[in-house]
Structure 1
Amino acid sequence: MPALPPQPISPLDGRYRAAVTALGDHLSEAGLNRARVHVEVEWLIYLTSRSMFGSMPLTAEQTQQLRAFAAGFGDLEISALAEIEATTRHDVKAVEYLIRAELDRLGLAAIAELTHFACTSEDINNLSYALTVKAAHEQVWLPKLRTVVAALGELAQEHKGAAMLSRTHGQPATPTTMGKELAVFVYRLERVIGQLEQSEYLGKFSGATGTFAAHLVADPDTDWPAVSREFVEGLGLSWNPLTTQIESHDWQAELYGKVAHANRILHNLATDIWTYISLGYFRQIPVAGATGSSTMPHKINPIRFENAEANLEISSALLDSLAATLVTTRLQRDLTDSTTQRNIGVAFGHSLLALDNLQRGLREISLDTDALTADLDRNWEVLAEAIQTVIRAEVTAGRSTIEDPYAVLKELTRGHRVGPAELAEFVAGLDIGDAAKARLLALTPATYIGVAPALLAYLR
């Protein structure tokens, strides 16, 4: 059998690439290397702008040329970097040599030794990861989450008055509305979004063991911690003053924990909507040309929600592993984080794919209010809670002498189907006040929804 041409192993780079391609601009090897070039170039510009070690500030044109080189990092640079790394066997050193070559091309060889000056590889790497994760999170993943939450919020508002039988423990329970149940997820996700919007992205820039030792030897008169802070914050990151060779990755663990939390809320949403579809509450809108089953022509399977469910589980497992692994390093440095962090894009990718499926799935369902009404009409016994609660209030107010109202209703309804006529007859014979009796006689499962529609006012 002839060998296949090279094929992607990950479905994110194959079958699902279109849904996650925006992440590749940031959380890919090329995205990481572009960020490395950006950090190295900005450090060069920083040092020369302050005429450090006898250097002269770059002209505006030279500065623009260097920044354009970093911003334009593309196929040619990727190929050139791969050739250099084949010799260096070190990715960050290869980036340094790539920049040195560009300095020669621009006639700036005189400042070549300021490339990667006093830096350990992790000085460049931690800032590059912080920049790429920040961009991927804030520009790609979080906007997609907001889009899904907004769509869910619209559905919640549309169906805020659609009375629906609840199912606590899977059994008929006090009615609610579909809108209120969807709003629960909106509220939960909005709260996590608020936390995610406050995320910190920390960076260190302090040398081989976080002591500025080489820096101080090179220039004893410079306040190197102040320089480091100014440089890191100038990149749009928060400065971490106390580290080993590596930035401790606690901010990453915090972020990935929150993303995993959002994943799990979304997973709950996917399984609930799947169940509502199974109950017939939501109809699935047929997609032209689509096939639900290879043998059963009638089927429309809830694949969007099943796909989302599976990808959220994969993403959360990876994010949990990242958060648990990255916070530990042996003494001042080991390389376990190097391999681990290369999977950040995979973790976000599976979550982004799930969000894409949820977004599509929410567009492909329609509420069947007839099914909701029919289900309510089959379960009049859920009014037992209302009746026994009103009796309790009447007893307390001295308008009834019924003993143990709960037991009375339990005897009537537990394990029994009770219709509207039976309940009306039961209520009519109760020893309670006329106003209370009138309220109960007017009640139906469809109207026993409390203030469910009004609760949506608590959404942002």
Structure 2
Amino acid sequence: MPNTEPGRAHDLDAGAPDAGTLPTADVADERDPADDVVLGASGAPTTRAERTVLADVVPPIALGPLDGRYRAAVAPLVDHLSEAALNRERVHVEVEWLIHLTSHHVVPGAPTLSSEEREYLRDVVRTFDAETVAELAETERVTVHDVKAVEYLLKSRLEAAPDLLGEDTVLPRVAELVHFACTSEDVNNLSYALMVQGAVRDVWLPAAWALVDELAAMAHEHADVPMLARTHGQPATPTTLGKELAVLAHRLRRQLRRIGSAEYLGKINGATGTYGAHLAAVPGADWVTVSRTFVEHLGLTWNPLTTQIESHDWQAELYADVARFNRVLHNLATDVWTYISLGYFAQVRGQGTVGSSTMPHKVNPIRFENAEANLEVSCALLDTLASTLVTSRLQRDLTDSTTQRNIGPAFGHSLLAIDNVRRGLAGLDADPAAMARDLDANWEVLGEAVQSAMRAAGIAGVAGMEQPYERLKELTRGRRITGEDLRTFVEGLGLPDDVAARLAAMTPATYTGAAADLVRRYLD
């Protein structure tokens, strides 16, 4: 019977001896006894139980690659999209809400804060550091609620204000204006909007624009370098290397302009978006105006109609645009990888780097392969974010809470890919000679030019121009032709002298149409 013991592989050959038994005496053994390995002579492999528990190592070891081997490339995002950054933005929102309420005299009897008191509050945000993170974590162990921990942190700073500002400070008196009439999502939605806005504008977009500008510079540099095009993987009408790079740069720029014009929405309107607590506490205040001016004061777009949560539609729109940029960049990575494999690009590297662990001659296109993988991971996360965040049961459920904690990895993998593509492009040298060899080996691509000239001549009344496509198909399909073959064919067509001369002078390398001019005219 085949072995079906859990954890053990089934024998592929049901008639073979059980892999867990030694051959019996009646099984022929033709091995040289000298080749036998004494069981146990090399010792048993280590078991997991014998090893150091890496989860207990201090400082902690990262579970994922973004906080491990790729940390340097994505570190700027930590200031925007980490858990600590989220808590800092929460403190920022709570501080500004308190200042907003007191500065606009929204709550009767609340004192006006002095400039020193406002700066004291804003210093809580400015000095948010590792000690603050630890303090919040300790408080949250008691509250089991992250936003409540932030509220208590800020209240503790208000209580301590007299130590720095003197006993006359009014800050302890306004402690109950911290988180006034707010639900946690009032603070969270504004914090996430500010986090993502900062990450995109300060980190991701500058890196993406730098990549596209470098790609555009390459396109201009190689605008006149002729190259055999390939459609469906087959030789096709020639182009230039620069024009093909320009197509990708143009596509990427279009996506970046969309991303650059994204709106970041926010709301602060209470537990179900009705200003219920606000109006119950202070019915005379114009809470809609207070809400709008506060959200706009933060640099966000006010959303007037929400449930408990801001609807996250702006996030879905943004993540779809970033994912689309990723996919165009993925197209660039696969195209450049292919050009490298064709020999159109040579990879330049330092003598100390290793291409293959076993084949010394190789220089692998690892930057582009790494980029492909990270773009795919980023798109998977962005697609999930975009599809999940737009749905919330009735007035609120908590699925968005854990989902939004993956915004950082989504942008991190994209930023890492951008970094890899930039490094990869910087290590390339175009090889015009390799491209020229391919062009010279594919004269049949001029069949398109000849049959098009025949069509035009026929329309102009030149006799003998019938069935141009079919005649060129017979000449070129499924076979290689030489320049001489093509010139002989053209000479026998009876074309006007100027047309025949133009075609006779044409080569695959000169048959690039307006490719170079398109780069110079339309890729700014």
**TM-score by structure 2 length?**
0.87
| Counterpart check, 1:41 vs 2:95 | yes
Q: Write the letter of the residue equivalent to 1:136.
A: A
Moved more, 68-77 or 309-318: 68-77
| Counterpart check, 1:31 vs 2:85 | yes
Which whole-Å CA distance do the structure 2 matches of 1:48 and 1:440 have between them? 81
Q: Secondary structure at the match of 2:229?
A: strand
| Counterpart check, 1:19 vs 2:73 | yes
Q: Match for residue 459 of structure 1? A: 523
Which whole-Å CA distance do the structure 2 matches of 1:131 and 1:297 have between them? 49
1:40-439 alignment runs, 5 A limit: 40-51=94-105, 52-107=107-162, 108-439=171-502
Which whole-Å CA distance do the structure 1 matches of 2:198 and 2:127 have between them? 17
Which whole-Å CA distance do the structure 1 matches of 2:64 and 2:269 have between them? 36
Q: Write the letter of the residue equivalent to 2:116.
A: E
Measured after TM superposition, the shift of residue 229 of structure 1 is 0.1
Q: Is the 1:391–1:400 contact (alpha carbons within 8 Å) kept by the matching residues of 2? A: no
Q: Secondary structure at the match of 1:295?
A: coil
Q: Secondary structure at the match of 1:13?
A: coil
Q: Is the 1:400–1:433 contact (alpha carbons within 8 Å) kept by the matching residues of 2? A: no
1:3 pairs, out of 48, 53, 78, with: 53
Moved more, 409-418 or 47-56: 47-56
Which whole-Å CA distance do the structure 1 matches of 2:78 and 2:121 have between them? 23
Question: Identity rate of aligned residues, in percent?
Answer: 62
Which whole-Å CA distance do the structure 1 matches of 2:318 and 2:172 have between them? 41
Which whole-Å CA distance do the structure 1 matches of 2:331 and 2:118 have between them? 50
Deviations along 1:288-310, one digit per CA (max 9) or x if unpaired, are 31101111001000000000000
Deviations along 1:120-167, one digit per CA (max 9) or x if unpaired, are 000000000000000001110011000000010010000000000000
Measured after TM superposition, the shift of residue 400 of structure 1 is 2.8
Q: Gapped runs of 5+ residues in structure 1?
A: none
Q: Secondary structure at the match of 1:206?
A: coil
Deviations along 1:61-120, one digit per CA (max 9) or x if unpaired, are 111111111122111110110110000000000000000000011132110000000000
Moved more, 274-283 or 397-406: 397-406
Which whole-Å CA distance do the structure 1 matches of 2:471 and 2:337 have between them? 37
Which whole-Å CA distance do the structure 2 matches of 1:397 and 1:339 have between them? 70
Q: Secondary structure at the match of 2:480?
A: coil
Which whole-Å CA distance do the structure 2 matches of 1:98 and 1:329 have between them? 30
Which whole-Å CA distance do the structure 2 matches of 1:43 and 1:117 have between them? 8
Relative contact order, higher structure (CA 8 A, sep 6+): 1
Which whole-Å CA distance do the structure 2 matches of 1:165 and 1:279 have between them? 11
Q: Write the letter of the residue equivalent to 1:412.
A: L
Measured after TM superposition, the shift of residue 399 of structure 1 is 1.8
Q: Secondary structure at the match of 2:284?
A: coil
Deviations along 1:17-36, one digit per CA (max 9) or x if unpaired, are 00000000010000000000
Q: Secondary structure at the match of 2:230?
A: strand
Q: Is the 1:38–1:71 contact (alpha carbons within 8 Å) kept by the matching residues of 2? A: no
Q: Secondary structure at the match of 1:387?
A: helix
Which whole-Å CA distance do the structure 1 matches of 2:178 and 2:446 have between them? 76
Q: Is the 1:35–1:131 contact (alpha carbons within 8 Å) kept by the matching residues of 2? A: yes
Measured after TM superposition, the shift of residue 257 of structure 1 is 0.2
1:441-452 alignment runs, 5 A limit: 441-452=504-515
Q: Secondary structure at the match of 2:373?
A: helix
Measured after TM superposition, the shift of residue 44 of structure 1 is 0.7
Q: Write the letter of the residue equivalent to 1:459.
A: L
RMSD: 0.7
Q: Match for residue 40 of structure 2? A: none
Q: Match for residue 29 of structure 2? A: none
Measured after TM superposition, the shift of residue 335 of structure 1 is 0.3
Which whole-Å CA distance do the structure 2 matches of 1:62 and 1:125 have between them? 25
Q: Is the 2:464–2:493 contact (alpha carbons within 8 Å) kept by the matching residues of 1? A: no
Deviations along 1:261-301, one digit per CA (max 9) or x if unpaired, are 00000000000000000000000002231101111001000
Which whole-Å CA distance do the structure 2 matches of 1:221 and 1:3 have between them? 61
Q: Is the 2:457–2:465 contact (alpha carbons within 8 Å) kept by the matching residues of 1? A: no
Question: Greater share of helix residues, 1 or 2?
Answer: 1
How many equivalent pairs are there? Answer: 460
Moved more, 63-72 or 123-132: 63-72
Which whole-Å CA distance do the structure 2 matches of 1:287 and 1:302 have between them? 14
Deviations along 1:352-386, one digit per CA (max 9) or x if unpaired, are 00000001001000000100100000000100000
Which whole-Å CA distance do the structure 2 matches of 1:36 and 1:173 have between them? 57
Q: Secondary structure at the match of 1:410?
A: helix
Which whole-Å CA distance do the structure 2 matches of 1:104 and 1:443 have between them? 85
